[in-house]
Amino acid sequence: MARQRGSQLAYSELQAAMLDEGKRRTKAAKLIAVLTHFLGRADLSGLTVADVGCSAGFIADELAGAGAARTLGIDIDVPGLRRAHDRFGERVGFVCADGERLPFPDGSIDVIVFNHIYEHVVDPDAVLADIRRVLSDDGVLYLGLGNRLGVMEPHYKLPFLSYLPPSLADRYVRASGRADHYHERFRTRPGLRRMLRDFHVWDYSLPVLVEPERFAGGDVVPGAVSKLPPAVLRGLLPIVPTYLWVATKTPRRPAGPALRHAPQYVRTR
C-alpha cells in the first residue's frame, strides 16, 4: 500500500534554507518587484497582504516594509511562526492555520503570496480554492511554482528526483542520506495550469530571466543565463526550475511599464 502523504509540520527545522535570512529577503525583493509591476504602483501601500506559507516570516516582514497597510503570515510551521512572531510580530500578524481553511472573510485580502508552497501541501487544489475565496475581486495572487521537469530538485539537490514516482523517489532520497521520505509533489506546466483553472494568469518567468536586475532576480538567474537570447530562454521554459506567475480572479492586465519581454497570458482552460 502506498504511504499516505501528511502535512509537513515544523518545516523550518527540517530545511535550513527557510532560516537563511539573506536568501529569503532576496526572494521577497523579487516577488515584490513582480507584484508592483503587475499592479503598476511603486509599493504596496494601503493594501492588505498575506503570505501563505510564511514560515520564519522574512518575506512577510519585507511585505510589511513595502508599505502594506496590514500584513499577515500564515503557516502550520509552529517553530517557524514562533521565531517570526518574536522578531516581526509588531508589524506582522502571524496565524497558525491550514491553507485549506484560511481564517479570513471572503474577499478580504488584496495581495496573497504563495511562494514555493504548493508542492508541500497535501491538497494544493483545495488550498488554491480557499485562497481564491479570501482574495478580493480585484486582488492579486503571486505564485512561485516549482516545475516537476526542473532537472535539479531544489530541496535535496538531487538530479531528476522530482521526475520519479513516489516509491522510487523515497528510495532515492533515502539512499542519499538526505531524508527518510520524499514528501514533495511537483507538477508540470500543464498540471499547474489545471491547478489554476479558476484564475486569470500572467507568466513573468521570461521577463525575470531576461531582466533579472529589474526584478531583483539574482537568486534564480545566473548571470550567463540572462545573456542568452530571449528565443533560447523561451525554449528552455519547459524545464526551468521555477515559474513566476501572477493570478487574479477577474480579468486584468499588467499595469507596469513596458519590458524587454512582456509577461505572457497563460491559458488555464
Check residue 224 and give its pLDDT: 63
Superfamily of domain 11-148+186-266: Vaccinia Virus protein VP39 (3.40.50.150)
Check residue 11 and give its pLDDT: 60
Percentage helix, strand, coil for the chain under 3-state DSSP, each rounded to 5: 35, 20, 45
Check residue 3 and give its pLDDT: 45
| CA atoms within 13 Å, Cβ hemisphere of 70 | 7
Q: Quote the strand ranges of 184-240, DSSP E.
A: 200-203
Considering the chain, what is the average pLDDT of its residues? Answer: 91
Segment 91-116 mean pLDDT: 97
Check residue 229 and give its pLDDT: 85
Cβ atoms of 230 and 261 closer than 8 Å: yes
Check residue 225 and give its pLDDT: 72
Taking alpha carbons only, the member of 136, 122, 22 closest to residue 76 is: 122
Give domain limits for the chain: 11-148+186-266
Segment 59-65 mean pLDDT: 98
pLDDT tens digits, 190-246 = 999 999 999 999 999 999 988 988 998 766 666 667 678 888 888 988 999 999 999
- pLDDT range class, residue 1, cuts 50, 70, 90: very low
Query: Is the per-residue pLDDT at 15 higher than 90?
Result: no
The three cell numbers of residue 72 are 499577515
Query: Is the per-residue pLDDT at 137 higher than 50?
Result: yes
Q: Give pTM, 2 decimals.
A: 0.93
Query: Is the per-residue pLDDT at 248 higher than 70?
Result: yes
Check residue 46 and give its pLDDT: 96
The three cell numbers of residue 242 are 521555477
Check residue 2 and give its pLDDT: 41
In three-state secondary structure terms, 164 is: coil
% pLDDT > 90, the chain = 80
Which range has the worst mean pLDDT, 16-30, 80-94, 152-166?
Answer: 16-30
| CA atoms within 13 Å, Cβ hemisphere of 176 | 17
Query: Is the per-residue pLDDT at 9 higher than 80?
Result: no
- pLDDT range class, residue 20, cuts 50, 70, 90: confident
How far apart (Å, rounded) are the C-alpha atoms in residues 42 and 52?
Answer: 23
